[in-house]
């Protein structure tokens, strides 16, 4: 059965994509911990991140690093947090989150009703920074 992320990747459900390549995508979560909270998701539906192939795993972390650099430039946080949980959706994914404190890297801090305009602005800020970095994989 396709995961919700597979359905987003295939365009069945809309997503605010900031990155697309042949191995993975990155899009903003609809329930962010902080503005700019982005998910890096392999196109291949793999349930648990420890089951990812070595090359795909390395690629996901490199994309997360690039997204994190774009977030750092766009939002000026103290740090970029990276979280892998995998309990809520059976499709491996990395949470890349701009944070000012470690306590902000928590599902207890999510915004369950963010403004669509704020999500759009955050996505565009990340895309702008990725373009400035010379990345051709920028979505949108």
pLDDT of residue 94: 98
pLDDT of residue 44: 97
Mean pLDDT, consecutive 10-residue stretches, the chain (140 aa), reads 95 97 98 98 97 98 98 98 93 98 96 97 98 94
Rg of the chain, C-alpha, whole Å: 14
Domain range 4-132, its CATH number among 3.30.499.10, 3.30.428.10, 1.10.1040.10, 3.40.50.150:
3.30.428.10
What residue segments make up the domains of the chain, in order of their start? 4-132
CA gap 109, 6 in Å, rounded? 26
- E-strand spans in 1-140? 17-20, 24-28, 38-42, 79-83, 94-99
Q: How much is the pTM?
A: 0.97
């Amino acid at each position: 059965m396709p995961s919700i992320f597979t359905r987003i990747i295939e365009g069945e459900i809309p997503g605010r994509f900031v990155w697309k390549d042949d191995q993975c995508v990155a899009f903003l979560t609809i329930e962010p911990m902080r503005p700019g909270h982005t998910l890096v998701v392999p196109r291949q539906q793999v349930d648990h991140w420890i089951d990812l192939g070595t090359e795909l795993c390395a690629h996901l972390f490199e994309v997360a690093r690039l997204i994190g650099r774009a977030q750092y430039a766009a939002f000026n946080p103290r740090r970029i947090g990276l979280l892998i949980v995998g309990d809520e959706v059976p499709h491996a994914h990395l949470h890349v989150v701009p944070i000012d404190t470690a306590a902000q890297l928590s599902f207890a801090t999510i915004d369950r009703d963010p403004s669509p305009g704020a999500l759009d602005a955050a996505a565009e800020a990340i895309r702008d920074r990725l373009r400035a970095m010379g990345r051709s994989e920028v979505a949108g």
